[in-house]
Copies of this chain bind each other. A is one copy, B any other.
Amino acid sequence: MPAITLHDLQNKLHEQIPLTKTIGIRVTDYSGETLTLSAPLQNNINHKSTAFGGSLYSVAVLAGWGLLYTKLNELDLSGHIVIQQSNVNYLQPVKSDIIATCSVGDITTFERFIRTFNKKGMARIKLASVIMQGDEAAVEFEGSYVVHV
């Protein structure tokens, strides 16, 4: 179990990045390996009644940020988490609420990232988030995050 609750993480996002309140970001699930954020379509709608690409990006990038924040918190670590680089593929329009899930990925890579952070006070990791539309991936996001003390 994380030291931080889903509710606390959601409040933290809303406090630290006020725009996330308008986006309607909710922290909906944490499994230990994945963190899921969601946001209502209505807050993020465009002229085609689908989700705005900038909103999809925001929910995806914050799923990675939130996952790192939660994992560091579990390990009694803290650091500044910064997005450095990202790639996004929009595979199909999102016509319902935005649900973005970010996964820790390969555990060996993640453990190496934590060791580097402990040793050097700075480390980088690539994380993938996906936004599903029914059973199919609608948005694939990959971000390189830097964590530093």
Contact = CB atoms under 8 A, between A and B. Distances in A.
Interface of A: 15-19, 22-23, 43-48, 52-55, 57-58, 61-62, 80, 82-90, 93
* Leading 8 A-B pairs by shortest Cβ distance: A54-B58, A16-B47, A22-B22, A53-B83, A57-B57, A17-B46, A17-B52, A86-B88
A85 B139 CA distance: 10
A40 to B, nearest CB: 11
Given A19-B43, A58-B54, A87 B90 contact: no
Main secondary structure of the interface of A (DSSP, over half): mixed
Nearest to A45: B18
Given A23-B19, A52-B17, A86 B83 contact: no
